[in-house]
Structure 1
Amino acid sequence: MKSRKQQVILLTGAASGIGAASARLAVSLGHQVMLADVNIEGARKIAESLGENAAAVNLDIRSSAQWEKVLDATIKRFGRLDVLVNNAAIVFTGYARDVPLEHHQRTIETNFMGPVTGTLAVLRRFREQGYGHIVTVCSMTAFLPFPGIASYGASKQALRAFHHALALEERHTPIHFTIVHPTSTETPMLEQEAQDDASSLAFVSDVVTPEFVAETLLTAIRKKSVEVFMPPEQARAIRMLGTDPKKMRKLLDTMETIGKDAQLARRAASSAHK
């Protein structure tokens, strides 16, 4: 995959997982990247390894004041901003009844209101400069009710709805909108899900690497794709299933059994390597 044009990218959740892999790939393609994360030490470590085309900044995506400072810092460091990638997210696993209410609230505040806050902050600047590209890293859970991570899935469904509604509102402006939906990805978040029996559905399908998602993401940015699903061959079936709750109830026991077997195998493999 070749880069046609150097761009300045602000990437949230960049200290690990999909964010870190995307930062590495973007810099290798010639882009300049500001790595933003609440884990500033992790983000700085990666930025330092990437050289002068990368820098790191602390960002709690729930804070509008911090967003403004990060946007200013990015423009000061690289001279402009071309692309915002909203990637940061959190998860609290467990059956909804067992997850404290404050964890449900924090999930929505982080995974939904965090990207909303950043998107609206950068939208004003993109409109003023006459160009820009807003990219949302969502999830295939945006199409599925997902036991074990109910609030996470809800936050992603809300995020997809907001992203597309905003894109429609801005359809006559020069701002581009892209949303990508990774499947289960080998990240610290997935490792958290692996330890909770309630999250077995995450292991029904094959897990992909952060590098796979990063390549898909950077390709979508280059092509200015509207919406990208991972893996594409499963997307249609997943989207149809998600709109058929009766069918989901019939299939869920079988799906959970498959997921739990894969989950147990993963735990066994992990224990064997310790």
Structure 2
Amino acid sequence: MKLDLSENEIQRYSRHILLPEVGGTGQVALKNASVLVVGAGGLGAPVALYLAAAGVGRIGLVDDDVVELSNLQRQVLHTTRAVGRKKVDSAHEQLAALNPEIKVEAWDVRLDAQNADGLVGRYDLVCDGCDNFATRYVVNAACVRAGKVLVSAAVQRFEGQLATFSPERGGGCYNCLYPATDGQASGLSCGEAGVFGAVTGVMGTLQATQALKEILGLGHSGVGQLLMWDALRMKFTTMTLSADPACKVCGGGHAHG
């Protein structure tokens, strides 16, 4: 465990350290923390940027895709010169340039049932910003098995959602909110429905904020609550989430698989 901050780190994080709620102790906690970011796209980009800027000591990025020109309208980790490169390589380069004090681990794989437990188990907390339901269910199940907090965000068109899942602390899991048959659900991807680019920036930044709060134990965690944002009406709505006792993933009396 790293107990001290260097002079460079004290200067870099001075605005955090000035906050009584964070201080030097909190900054050291961030330095010792690790977060897995699933997806280096529209949501994963702002999540990773703000976690890196905040000084989270080890950040894992999971994505097997390459940068396409159509990504650049919202995926702010990548530049035009990165088109055709692996997203994790492009992201690693950008994050290292932003903050060389941290460690970035690039996982050029598609997270699936075979590797999810191994990846999730390496980190303290998981931020899921992937763009398909199948991966979301796999990530959720792995987090439940490992007892890891899952901060999940999603965006479609002009709307976004954010929730923090920790069955041990109430509110259930992702599968309680969106039950799926055989671990699958249907829905349009942003490539089919479209997405307003700046909405991913807002939701990804909120996701990073919740992750940092979890690490530091600050404020309301968001566990047991779904935050919804309608950008066209500029309206935030919250609803209470309840655990489903019959959930096949986190419910009592069912196999957690």
User: In the alignment, what sits opposite 1:49?
Assistant: 94
RMSD: 4.0
Give CA deviations for 1:34-55 in whole Å, capped at 9, x if unaligned.
0000227211221133234211
CA distance in 2, matches of 1:54, 1:66: 19
- Which residue of the other structure, out of 72, 85, 92, is the alignment partner of 2:127? 85
* 1:182-193 equivalent positions in 2, closer than 5 A: 192=191
Cα distance 1:231–1:29, how it changes in 2: closer, same or farther (>3 A)? Answer: farther
- Which residue of the other structure, out of 212, 222, 225, is the alignment partner of 2:202? 212
* 1:262-273 equivalent positions in 2, closer than 5 A: none
User: In the alignment, what sits opposite 1:113?
Assistant: 134
Partner of 1:230: helix, strand, or coil?
strand
Matched residue type, 2:235: Q
Cα distance 1:235–1:49, how it changes in 2: closer, same or farther (>3 A)? Answer: closer
- Which residue of the other structure, out of 116, 121, 127, is the alignment partner of 1:67? 116
Cα distance 1:25–1:171, how it changes in 2: closer, same or farther (>3 A)? Answer: closer
Partner of 2:227: helix, strand, or coil?
strand
Matched residue type, 1:84: V
Cα distance 1:172–1:23, how it changes in 2: closer, same or farther (>3 A)? Answer: closer
Give CA deviations for 1:81-136 in whole Å, capped at 9, x if unaligned.
221111111xxxxxxxxxxxxxxxxxxxxx2231111221132222xxxxx32111
Does the alignment pair 1:38 with 2:69?
Answer: no
Q: Which runs of 5+ in 2 are unaligned?
A: 1-14, 17-21, 67-85, 97-101, 175-188, 214-218, 240-257
CA distance in 2, matches of 1:25, 1:114: 23
CA distance in 1, matches of 2:156, 2:128: 16
Relative to its length, the structure with more strand (as a share) is 2
Rg larger in 1 or in 2? 1
* 1:202-241 equivalent positions in 2, closer than 5 A: 208=198, 210-221=200-211, 222=213, 223=219, 224-225=221-222, 226-231=225-230, 233-236=234-237
CA contact (8 A) 2:117 2:146 kept: no
Partner of 2:43: helix, strand, or coil?
helix
Cα distance 1:220–1:60, how it changes in 2: closer, same or farther (>3 A)? Answer: same
Matched residue type, 1:83: L
* 1:85-234 equivalent positions in 2, closer than 5 A: 85-89=127-131, 111-126=132-147, 132-139=148-155, 170-171=168-169, 192=191, 199=193, 208=198, 210-221=200-211, 222=213, 223=219, 224-225=221-222, 226-231=225-230, 233-234=234-235
CA distance in 2, matches of 1:138, 1:209: 10
- Tell me the percent identity: 15
CA contact (8 A) 2:151 2:210 kept: no
Alpha-carbon offset, residue 19 of structure 1: 0.8
